[in-house]
Structure 1
Amino acid sequence: MLRVGLISDTHNLLRPEAVDCLRGCDHILHGGDIGDESILERLAELAPLSVVRGNNDRDGWAERLPHSLRLQFEGVGIYAVHDIAELDIDPVAEQVGVVVTGHSHKPLIREREGVIYVNPGSAGRRRFSLPIALGELIIDGSQVTPRIIELSSG
């Protein structure tokens, strides 16, 4: 069984509660709009880290980050892209089990045509009245259990 932590839209703020929540993950996936490379350095201290570039990640350090990426854990294909509007594959045809996005700051889990779509929300600064949140995937063989975790109101 693997625990994959999902975090997005930190916008240069890595909350201690987020770090605590991600501690113990087997892998962490950041869905973009990171804000500063130091966020990635801190997350990489916790677990192996994969990252996609968000629309606000424009500084030189972010140029090396991919706009999308594909991961595989225990036979489960995961595709990550910051903005769902930029999803450039057919997840069903590509045998992707989970699509992870960010951008909207709205935590969301939904399933469509056998594909789980997860937006962990924003773990950074509060936007409007949206919750501060992150997510996780528990992967056990081909079974995936997604979860949204709301953090303190900060």
Structure 2
Amino acid sequence: MIKVGILSDTHIAKITEQFRKNCVSAFAGCDAIIHAGDLTDISILSTFAGKDVYGVCGNMCNPATRQLLPETKIICLNGYSIGICHGTGPRHNIEERLLRLLPGTDCIVYGHTHIPTCHKTGDTLFINPGSFQGTGNYGAPGTYGVLHINKDSLKGSIHELVR
């Protein structure tokens, strides 16, 4: 089994001690990390040294980060294809647009809306971990996702940060 920690919309320019503590707590035991964009600065990914890290840029990333990270990425873990994209535009049909952008993937991980969700539509598992820093609308708490990948199943879940 592979355990993947998923976060998005961190919106911080430098690593703080609280961010580091939250990451250690949330992603203990994870084999890999997916950051679905709006990390703001690529240095944030250094928090996950020693793990496989997959990231994409988002609309709030600085120019240097946009140069280094793609807008979309497809990875294969344990035989499953996982599409990663921050997302853009209005939220009302974002998953339809992502399906067109990342067709045939088993799982699509995205951010942008700050609304955590984990559900299956057709054959595709959608995971939006929400905003890790809790910068969601109206002071929503920080959230993240976890993806468990077995030989014959994908299972996702959403969790609230414990501070």
Q: TM-score, normalised by structure 2?
A: 0.83
- Superposition CA RMSD, Å: 1.9
> What fraction of aligned residue pairs are identical, expressed as a percent?
30
Q: Confirm or deny that 1:66 pairs with 2:77.
A: no
Q: Confirm or deny that 1:123 pairs with 2:132.
A: yes
- Structure richer in helix, relative to its length: 2
Q: Which runs of 5+ in 1 are unaligned?
A: none
Residue in 2 that maps onto 1:87: 98
Q: Distance in 2 between matches of 1:90 and 1:17?
A: 32
Contact 2:133 2:141 in 1 (8 A): no
Residue in 1 that maps onto 2:27: 22
Contact 1:11 1:125 in 2 (8 A): no
Aligned residue runs from structure 1 range 1-150, under 5 A? 1-12=1-12, 14=19, 16-43=21-48, 45-83=49-87, 85=94, 87=98, 89=100, 94-127=103-136, 128-150=138-160
| Equivalenced residues, count | 150
Note the C-alpha offset of 1:125. 4.1
Q: Which runs of 5+ in 2 are unaligned?
A: 89-93
Q: TM-score, normalised by structure 1?
A: 0.87
2:111 corresponds to which letter in structure 1?
Answer: G
Note the C-alpha offset of 1:18. 2.7
Q: Distance in 2 between matches of 1:133 and 1:54?
A: 18
Q: Distance in 2 between matches of 1:90 and 1:105?
A: 20
Consecutive aligned runs of 4 or more in structure 1 exceeding 4 Å deviation: none
2:39 corresponds to which letter in structure 1?
Answer: I
